[in-house]
A and B are shown apart, each in its own frame.
Chain A
Amino acid sequence: MTAPVESAAASSQHAAAAPSIWSRAWSNHAPGYSFLVPWFIGFFGLTIGPIIYSFYLSFTDFDLLTAPRWTGADNYVRMFTNDPRFAAAMRVTFFYVLFSVPLKLAFALSVALLLNRGMKGLPLYRALFYLPSLLGASVAIAILWRQIFAGNGIVNQFLTFIGVFGPNSLTGMTAPSWLSNPNYSLWTLIVLSIWQFGSPMIIFLAGLRQIPQDMYEAASLDGAGRWRQFWKITLPLLTPVVFFNLVIQTIDAFKSFTPAFIISAGSGGPINSTLFYTLYLYNEAFSFFRMGYASALAWFLLALIACFTAFSFLTSKYWVHYDD
């Protein structure tokens, strides 16, 4: 499409001064590279260089004050054989990913389906459901969550009010303290994640709008009910969007940090029950200054995310439906 213009430009250059190869190469490529100068500095100085250096550091013992000491694969060996806190962090993170992502997406999809039936007031509902998603990453929301699930927080007050807990209630139990009980503390964070279903919901809505309406008309003429239409038309045609949301939300869940940090005051407690992977990494690096070990943790996180992404793409051809 651009070829004629290019050749016209090139021939006009020839006519003008017949410049040398070098100056032509310069005028052809220099503008592109000059626009990329800031990006190149960032890419090499803040991305590629650091990636290589952190890979090196992951094989060393480094406390920031003395030079890194080469220890071979010790950091990685220790991670898998002799570090109960690493094992706890893995358990907590996988549990969180496994429950928060599917529940969040299920919520997002159900609400999107409900909204997509030509509901009046769609923009208002969409905006209201999106708000928590926009605010959710804030420290203020983590603080609010700490308060909601506190012993005297509104969850317990509400459950007592409707008669679930309390001396004369259905269960007769006193309300539990959600945050200080290691059986429940992680669930409060999962609920926080589900609460932010707004942005995947918006992406689902955009995907639902792409599905041609006449497919449903044809299906209902053939006698397919709503349930069958959902399983045979909506869901298959929506799988690319499901796939996208699944990958993005899972990667994001692996990297979750702020809520666990605020709710557990940086400790990952009680009894490591909210020790997210990134929280453990942060503590190793910036509380104990085990920079070499923390680098190994970071590389393992990268490997986890890369494996998950590769796995999703490889299996996608069996369940993701692409046009044609």
Chain B
Amino acid sequence: MTTDVHRLTVVTGQEGDEAARRRRRILSVLAHAALIGASILMLYPLLWLLAASFKPEAQIFSTGIWPSIEWSIDSYFRGWNGLRVSFLVFFTNSFIIAFLSVMGNLITCSMAAYAFARLRFRGRNFWFAMMLMTLMLPYHVVLIPQYVLFRELGWIDTFLPLVVPKFLAVDAFFIFLMVQFFRGIPRELDEAAMMDGCSPWRIYWKIMLPLSVPALVTTAIFTFIWTWDDFFAPLIYLNRMQNYTVMLGLRTFVDSTAQSDYGGLFAMSVLSIIPIFLFFLIFQRLLIEGIATTGMKR
């Protein structure tokens, strides 16, 4: 019976193939057309923002949905100094906070992950389960007590409430990510080192970390992007404009556009997403793999 089926497809194959191939080609062209259309629609707002930031002030809205022929970078200069404090200060602050957050997460999350993935101690499974529970916890439940605590410590209007938690491994997500990665490293490596009398600290430092560069890079990139984008925590903890991050600077800019310097606002918006965009260009593959394998939300 199987030979019958086989012969049947062979007989009808000749002209059937031709038609099927043509149909497949038409379908493929249609699919590409749909995808290209969708890409343009999706990216259009971003391109419009970029174009608007280079339009002369008078043409931003008069040229409508089209790019203007004239262009200028005046908006960037106006925007940069558009507030009482220069955007240079905001960018510096954002970089300091993001850099320290990345360091904190890299050091303390990898330490915790190493303990959970490799070391044996009483209560390990219990604490691991506790760590997983904190993954699901909405930040809002701890928000007010943390605010009260940091206020008592005199940390309001400093970077400390934004940075110190990262040095206490509160981003359980990255612990989980690194635990998964560490488990994939052959156990023979650290067991051999242990037999040779290597201490857990040396194993962590000389074996685990060098072998985990992809997980560390993923952690660093996502920590950077999330702290760079973070709006809620800086909004709550930073008061004086000298301490503002870029996101807070932008928000102040929106609120003060009574004088409506839209060009400046758009220019600063573009600048604020450039660091993330650069990460996207350079580490695109790593970001996409990170999402595909761990199911990060963005």
Contact = CB atoms under 8 A, between A and B. Distances in A.
B296 interface: yes
Interface stretch (B69-77, B81-89, B95-103, B270-278): B270-278
A140 B120 contact: no
Contacts of B167: 38
A265 B204 contact: no
Tell me the dominant secondary structure on chain A's binding face: helix
Interface string A254-290: 1101100110010000000000001001100110000
Given A32-B124, A119-B32, A199-B298, A39 B140 contact: no
Q: Interface residue tally of chain A, by bracket?
A: 35 or more
Contacts of A45: 149, 168
A56 to B, nearest CB: 9
B206 to A, nearest CB: 15
B147 to A, nearest CB: 8
Contact of B200 (A31, A54, A286): A31
Given A43-B130, A117-B31, A129-B39, A138 B141 contact: no
A138 B140 contact: no
B231 A139 contact: yes
Interface string B142-175: 1111111101000000000000010111100001
Interface in A147-169: 147-148, 152, 154, 157-158, 161
Contacts of A211: none
7 contacts: A31-B115, A51-B141, A121-B32, A134-B298, A157-B65, A254-B138, A306-B136
Interface of A: 1-2, 5-6, 8-9, 28-33, 35-36, 38-39, 41-43, 45-47, 49-51, 53-54, 57, 64, 111, 114-115, 117, 119-121, 123, 125-141, 143-148, 152, 154, 157-158, 161, 195-196, 198-199, 202-203, 205-206, 221, 244-245, 248-249, 251-252, 254-255, 257-258, 261-262, 265, 278, 281-282, 285-286, 291, 294-295, 297-299, 301-302, 305-306, 309
Given A195-B42, A298-B138, A298-B143, 5 more contacts: A32-B120, A35-B115, A42-B165, A144-B45, A261-B231
Interface of B: 5, 28, 31-32, 34-35, 38-39, 42-43, 45-46, 48-49, 52, 61, 64-65, 107-108, 111-112, 114-115, 119-122, 124, 127, 130-131, 134, 136-149, 151, 165, 167-170, 175, 187, 191, 194-195, 199-201, 204, 225, 229, 231-232, 236, 247, 250-251, 254-255, 262, 265-266, 269-270, 272-273, 276-277, 280, 284-285, 287-288, 291-293, 295-298
